[in-house]
A = this chain, B = another copy of it.
């Protein structure tokens, strides 16, 4: 049997990372946990986020036998990656470093914009990761985008208008700071669903970087030996077990939009909160 890759998220958005992982590791086995009873993490404090994320990571490792973990949530990666790494004895990959590395590969000016949740922005995790790669980053919290995605308004004119307002503020701020940005990192796993509207709103010359895609690439490099397992058996298909801490019916229904394929047999988990 191939080892299990645990994928953790505060809710549904991490399914965009799982989707990218499934495309690249077609024979791997996954256990996905969405902590939907306590979502969203993006408006909460570091202490609370770390407490919740560690419980989720421990469930995947201890109860599900995951031998590596992907933290498919920007907020948890930004505020709790160290706490998770301390709490479980397996390799842990977050979404921030791969996102920053992808921005580095895409940017010529070295000036990068990042949009994310409140908590991710206030942690300045992307700014630090970009700085460590020799880039300058300007971050902006866009708290309405997650609710708009969850309302299903991914093609709605109101969403387009909200994106334009946020990007105008960000671009004005960048200009005032003397930045010449040529890359925009989607620093929240919900945002890939808004990519068409975002692409339309950014000025020409700014590339949109999806950290979900970048994280799947990094996982492929980091976990490939473990995940592929010798020898590859072409008859074996990838398998995913889904766990959620709140309504499994809602997880299946909303989750299918993020995974772009049906999410079935979701199991309810009680993490004690």
Chain A interface (Cβ < 8 Å from any Cβ of B):
36-39, 43-45, 48, 143-144, 146-148, 150-151, 153, 158, 161-162, 165, 245-247, 250, 272-273
Within the complex, the shortest CB–CB distance from A38 to chain B, in Å, comes to 6
Residue of B39, B162, B273 near A158 (CB, 8 A) is B162
Bound-state CA distance A146–B148 (Å) is: 12
19 residue pairs A–B, Cβ–Cβ below 8 Å? A36-B44, A37-B45, A38-B38, A43-B150, A44-B246, A44-B247, A45-B246, A45-B247, A45-B250, A48-B245, A48-B246, A143-B147, A144-B151, A144-B153, A158-B158, A158-B162, A158-B165, A272-B273, A273-B273
Within the complex, the shortest CB–CB distance from A26 to chain B, in Å, comes to 33
Bound-state CA distance A161–B150 (Å) is: 18
**Would A48 and B44 count as touching, CB distance under 8 A?**
no
Chain B residues near A43 (CB-CB < 8 A): 39, 150
Chain B residues near A146 (CB-CB < 8 A): 147
In the complex, the 7 A-B pairs of residues with the closest C-beta atoms, listed nearest first: A273-B273, A147-B147, A45-B247, A37-B48, A48-B246, A45-B246, A44-B246
Chain B residues near A38 (CB-CB < 8 A): 37-38, 273
Chain B residues near A250 (CB-CB < 8 A): 45
- Between A144, A148, A250, the greatest number of chain B beta carbons within 10 A of the residue's beta carbon is seen for A144
Chain B residues near A37 (CB-CB < 8 A): 38, 44-45, 48
Given contacts A44-B247, A48-B37, A272-B273, contact A148 B144 (CB under 8 A): yes
Within the complex, the shortest CB–CB distance from A245 to chain B, in Å, comes to 8
Residue of B45, B151, B158, B162 near A143 (CB, 8 A) is B151
Bound-state CA distance A245–B52 (Å) is: 13
Bound-state CA distance A146–B146 (Å) is: 12
Bound-state CA distance A38–B49 (Å) is: 11
Bound-state CA distance A150–B118 (Å) is: 12
**Which single residue of chain B is at the shortest CB-CB distance from A247?**
B45
Within the complex, the shortest CB–CB distance from A132 to chain B, in Å, comes to 27
Within the complex, the shortest CB–CB distance from A108 to chain B, in Å, comes to 34
Bound-state CA distance A13–B158 (Å) is: 24
Within the complex, the shortest CB–CB distance from A258 to chain B, in Å, comes to 15
Q: A44-B246, A144-B151, A272-B273 given. 7 additional CB < 8 A pairs? A: A36-B44, A37-B38, A38-B38, A38-B273, A143-B147, A158-B158, A158-B165
